[in-house]
Amino acid sequence: MAAEAAKQFEQFKAAINKGDLQSAKRLLSGLKLSLTKLPALPPFFEKTPSAQQELLLARDVLEHAVSLSVKLQDEAAFERNFLQLKTYYTDTRGVLPPSQQEPLINGLNLLRLLVQNRIAEFHTELELLSTKEQQSPFVSHAINLEQRLMEGAYNKVLEARRNVPHESYTYFMEKLLTTVRDEIAGCSERAYAHLALPDAKKLMLFDSDQQALQYAQERGWAVKDGKVFFQMQEDKQASDLPALDLINHSLTYARELERIV
């Protein structure tokens, strides 16, 4: 059984290496089914003669499955595969040698939780990692990002996007940048009546005027004479301001309480 699963795994890896992600996805389904027939795997952990070989194979499969989910930009699949893989990182430490991919995948998972604004889960997962694991460049990258976001240091978030520790981080970093940009845009609408287009482009972390113009159109902003006019600012009524201030203060207190806890 293990030999058949190993053969399927080689086909799966070959599909990934060729960039045939859809074929890899289909092969993964059959491969996972084959793994369920191996008695040494969770939840049974039977001590068969080939137990270590079977566990190593399953861990490798799930690590590649996590990597594939990032390439496919499938966050739901990432979460499923990571949760399955986590068992091998926590429950087989005394049986298997450490995986060189573990710091990378833990860092990716933390980044995913950060992008999805699941801050409580982010800190829960972080607490499960040792001090040495937290010092890994893959994990520390996510830790630093969370700190910068809490500080509102969005320019440093942009710098981090350009200095990722691994190419697989790019997808989540682009999503994080979108979140940051929307946050800046919301603040700009409340703070300014208008901005010069170059200033708006710089403030919202765009690389070109065209990107800034497209985003302005999506937000419903007017662009005239080289300036971006925030419609929200023009349409607001004075009676709305206290409510907005109350919401902003409540969010600030919630963030501070969450950091303290």
| Per-residue pLDDT tens over the stretch 2-50 | 899 999 999 999 999 999 999 999 999 999 999 999 999 998 899 999 9
From CA 246, how far away is CA 95, in angstroms rounded? 54
| Per-residue pLDDT tens over the stretch 60-88 | 999 999 999 999 999 999 999 999 999 99
Strands (E), 68-221: 194-196
From CA 221, how far away is CA 97, in angstroms rounded? 56
CB 170 within 8 Å of CB 178: no
Q: Within the chain, how many helices (H) and strands (E) appear?
A: 14, 3
Q: pTM for this structure? A: 0.81
With cut-offs at 50, 70 and 90, classify the pLDDT of residue 240: very low
